[in-house]
Structures are given as structure tokens and as C-alpha cells.
Structure 1
Amino acid sequence: MEPKPGAGLTEAMVVLTLTTGVVEAVSFLVLGPVFTAVQTGNLLLLGFAVAGEGGLSLAPPALSLCGFTAGAVLGARLESSLEPRGRDRWFTAGLAAEAALLGLAGALALAAVPRGAVTVLVATAMGLRNVTTLRAAVPDLTTTVATRALTGLLAPLASDTRVLTDTAGRLRRAAAVAAMFTGGLLGAALLRAGIPGAALLLAVAATVLTTALARAVLRRRHENRAPGPGPAG
């Protein structure tokens, strides 16, 4: 059962996209250079490291890939097991589990544990996130990449009729691109201002959990307002 697009789902996905930018700011600028959500970039870093160029280490991208893989597998098992219970419990549970992992990563970072352990936990959370958003299937809002959304914004400028140009689609694509940029900018600016990366991870964890709870409340209200079946006859 996919979550209904109404009841705040699109808005939730935009907020989650913004948090990805913050997470990647911490990942690349503090833990890395490494990505934990955008595994396309991470695979490239791993390839560069294997080639011995750029002075890159194999460990950060390898650890991130391992964590991401574990998160995707565990997330798929968790959410598929909850799906028969209905009411999008898998969506709320997936975000809650992600928030718990990010909170743990932030706590460990405060305790000055090795960066590799923090990287694994953050990547695991992002692997779980990708399962959640893939299952939600909101067009143009994957929350961890914006390339497709950006292309969707640009293609209609060249009168490409095969790319949808409805207003809702344009708004989602613009929101995805803007949220990713804003999240990265915000994360980098806060790091530059002296805010520890651990604090940013804890803030993201709180934001993700709040988003999950807000989405659940809005969905419940939406269902309660829905008209019931009419009289038989």
C-alpha cells in the first residue's frame, strides 16, 4: 500500500530532501570526503581511490557502501513486514528507524568514536531512507538525488514534448532541486560557523522523526475527514 500523495506526503519528501543536503555536507566535509546518501558520487570516489588518483582513501567510500547496502536490505525487510498492517505504518516506521540511526551516529560522533563507525551508521540510515522513498514513489522526489528533477525542469525549455510539463510536476522538480541545494548550503554554512557535525546529525534525526510523526497525524486527519460509504439501496 503506497502512501497517498495528499495528507502532507509531498511536503514530507521536500523536507527529507533538504535533510539529505545537510547530511551530505557533514559526510563530505567532516567524515570524508565521502557520500552517504548519494551513492553515485560514492561509487565514483571509490573508483578514483582504486585507481590511486586524487589521494583518496578506499576506506570511507567502501564503508559507506557497506552501510548503505545493510540499510537498504534491513529497510526492505522491515517495511515489507509492516505493509500488511496498512495505514502506511511502514512509512512512519522507516523514517523512525532512520532517525534512530542518525541519532546514534550523532551521539557517537559527540563521543569522538572513529569517523568510519559514524560513516557506516549514517550510510545505513540513508540506505533505509532510499527504500522508504522508493516505496512511496512520489514523482521527482527521491529525496537523495536531484539530477532527474533538474533535467525535467530543463528539457521542456527545449520544447521536449515527451517530458511532462504539468504544473504539479514542475513544482515538485523545482522543490527537489531547491531543497537539495538549500540543505547543502545550510549544512556547509553551519559547519563553517563552528557547529559540530555531530550536532547537525542530531538535528537531522530530530527533523526526520518530526516529519514522520507529522505525516502520520496528517494522514489520520485526512482519513477521518474522508466521506464514508453512502446508504445502501
Structure 2
Amino acid sequence: MCPREPALSAEPPGGAALIVVMACLTVATGVLDAVSFLALGQIFTATQTGNLLFLGFGVAGQGGLPVVATVVSLGAFAVGAALGGRLESAVAARRRHWFPLALLVEALLLVGAGLAAWERGSAGELPQSQRYTVIALMAVAMGMRNVTAMRVGAPDLATTVETRAMTALVSGSRLGRDTRMGYGTHAAGRRLISVGSMLAGGLLGAGLLAAGLRPSPVLLLVAVTVAALGLVVPRLVRRQLAAG
């Protein structure tokens, strides 16, 4: 009978490998929010703090912001968080590879969103029901992603929210000189990577849409990227275990 893999093999990779994986996921988040905001109607599917504000503005009747689409995104995100919590904790309890599995499930949800966003004929605005379906699938994927990132617990690499990383970057720099925020450590590089990755993702997503790509192929491209990360993570973990 083959011995069980050690518990550590069920964990994400560490060190520089983890930073690269989380940075790629952050870029993917920027692309997804670019698609949802620019092509699906001024809502976010990952940055739910913005949606909470948009919902308040929309209910107040200011700014012409959507209410129903925002509620769909918020609700689907909550479903994704619940799904992620149940799935990932159950898989981890069995000493299985919960991190790559979570990425593969996220990729499947994004494939569903990409297929749901498929347009026939000339490019145009998606019908409302189709648009809500795409938003919901994207938000479920991002709700699950937030659980994944929180379970990983990589400092300053949340992949979806950059406010804390930006705050720590400034307050822990020579400007802020706050030792509790990492002044005098090597945390600044990691924080710059995190913030820069989100900016790069937004630029990439907006650039792809500006170049004439429809939401569907952009979503499928992100799905392939996330799936590739999910497939490569176990190899990274095995290499680190062998090296250690």
C-alpha cells in the first residue's frame, strides 16, 4: 500500500513561486473587473466594496448606476464565498490539494461565463438576462477566489482588494516609517507587485476591449490562465518538497 503524501503537499507553494501565482491571479482580477465594468454595465464582479457603494448610489437614484445588476453581483459573490468555504475546507480536511482544485473550479465558472457571454452576429450589447447570467457566474468565481486567497494567507497578496496593500506600501515606506507596517523589511517589493499587478490587469482588460475583443474571448482567456495556474501549482509544491 502506498504511503499517504505528507500534509504539506496539500498546501500552496511558498516563497517566490507563491508570489508569482498570486500576482498572476491579481492580473486576472483586473481583467475581469475591466470586463464587468466596461462591457457589462458599471458594476464589479470582484471588487465588491465598490458594488456596495454603487448600490447605495443607485438606490438613492444618483449617477444612473444599476441596482439590479449590482444586487446580482453581490448575491452571486456571496454564493461563491459559501461554495468556496465548503469545498476548500472539505478538500483540505482530506489532505488533498485544495488550492489547485479551487483554481480549476474557478476556471470552470469563468468558462461558463465566457460561453454565456457569447454573441451571435455583430457585436452589441448583451440582452439583459444574458448579461445577468455572465455577471452572476463571474461573481461566483470571484467569491470563491476570495476564500482561496484568504486561506492561502499570503501577506499583501489578496488578489482582489488592494487598499490594504497600498496603505501598507506607503505607511511602511520611508514616507510613513511605520515599523508595524513593515518599515525596514523587504515587504515593499511584494506590495508593489500586488498593486502593480492589479493596475496591469485593468490596463490589459481595457486594452483588449478597446482593441475590439468581445467579453467572451477575454473571459475564456482568463479562464485558461487560471486553469494553467491550477495545473502547475502541484508541480511547484512537489519541487519545493523535494528541495526541502
* Alpha-carbon shift at residue 84 of structure 1 (Å): 2.2
* Alpha-carbon shift at residue 107 of structure 1 (Å): 0.8
* Alpha-carbon shift at residue 7 of structure 1 (Å): 6.9
Give the structure-2-normalised TM-score: 0.88
Give the equivalent residue in structure 1 for 2:136.
120
- Look up the SS of the partner of 1:32 in the other structure: coil
Answer yes or no: is the 8 Å Cα contact 2:11–2:98 preserved in 1. Answer: no
Answer yes or no: is the 8 Å Cα contact 2:13–2:233 preserved in 1. Answer: no
For residues 127 and 33 of structure 1, the distance between their equivalents in structure 2, rounded to whole angstroms, comes to: 18
Q: Give CA deviations for 1:112-151 in whole Å, capped at 9, x if unaligned.
A: 6610110000000000000000000000000001111111
Give the equivalent residue in structure 2 for 1:99.
107
For residues 227 and 72 of structure 2, the distance between their equivalents in structure 1, rounded to whole angstroms, comes to: 25
For residues 233 and 109 of structure 2, the distance between their equivalents in structure 1, rounded to whole angstroms, comes to: 20
Change (3 A) 1:194 1:4: closer
- The correspondence of residues 189-208 of structure 1 with structure 2, limited to 5 A, is 189-208=207-226
For residues 223 and 120 of structure 1, the distance between their equivalents in structure 2, rounded to whole angstroms, comes to: 38
- The correspondence of residues 8-23 of structure 1 with structure 2, limited to 5 A, is 8-23=17-32
* Alpha-carbon shift at residue 5 of structure 1 (Å): 2.1
Moved more, 105-114 or 41-50: 105-114
* Alpha-carbon shift at residue 36 of structure 1 (Å): 0.4
* Alpha-carbon shift at residue 166 of structure 1 (Å): 4.8
1:43 partner letter: L
1:63 partner letter: V
Answer yes or no: is the 8 Å Cα contact 2:13–2:240 preserved in 1. Answer: no
Which of 18, 35, 48 does residue 39 from structure 1 map onto? 48
**Count of aligned pairs:** 225
For residues 146 and 205 of structure 1, the distance between their equivalents in structure 2, rounded to whole angstroms, comes to: 22
Give the equivalent residue in structure 2 for 1:73.
82
For residues 225 and 74 of structure 2, the distance between their equivalents in structure 1, rounded to whole angstroms, comes to: 24
- Look up the SS of the partner of 1:11 in the other structure: helix
For residues 119 and 143 of structure 1, the distance between their equivalents in structure 2, rounded to whole angstroms, comes to: 19
Which of 177, 180, 204 does residue 195 from structure 2 map onto? 177
Answer yes or no: is the 8 Å Cα contact 1:2–1:135 preserved in 2. Answer: no
- Look up the SS of the partner of 1:214 in the other structure: helix
* Alpha-carbon shift at residue 220 of structure 1 (Å): 1.3
For residues 74 and 199 of structure 2, the distance between their equivalents in structure 1, rounded to whole angstroms, comes to: 23
Change (3 A) 1:176 1:7: closer
Answer yes or no: is the 8 Å Cα contact 1:7–1:218 preserved in 2. Answer: no
* Alpha-carbon shift at residue 6 of structure 1 (Å): 3.1
* Alpha-carbon shift at residue 2 of structure 1 (Å): 5.0
* Alpha-carbon shift at residue 82 of structure 1 (Å): 0.4
Answer yes or no: is the 8 Å Cα contact 2:41–2:66 preserved in 1. Answer: no
For residues 191 and 124 of structure 1, the distance between their equivalents in structure 2, rounded to whole angstroms, comes to: 22
Answer yes or no: is the 8 Å Cα contact 1:95–1:209 preserved in 2. Answer: yes
Give the equivalent residue in structure 1 for 2:3.
none
Moved more, 53-62 or 22-31: 53-62
- Look up the SS of the partner of 1:148 in the other structure: helix
For residues 28 and 191 of structure 1, the distance between their equivalents in structure 2, rounded to whole angstroms, comes to: 11
* Alpha-carbon shift at residue 158 of structure 1 (Å): 2.5
Which of 108, 118, 129 does residue 110 from structure 1 map onto? 118
Change (3 A) 1:4 1:207: closer
Give the structure-1-normalised TM-score: 0.92
RMSD: 1.5
1:139 partner letter: P
1:82 partner letter: V
For residues 226 and 243 of structure 2, the distance between their equivalents in structure 1, rounded to whole angstroms, comes to: 26
Identity of aligned residues (%): 49
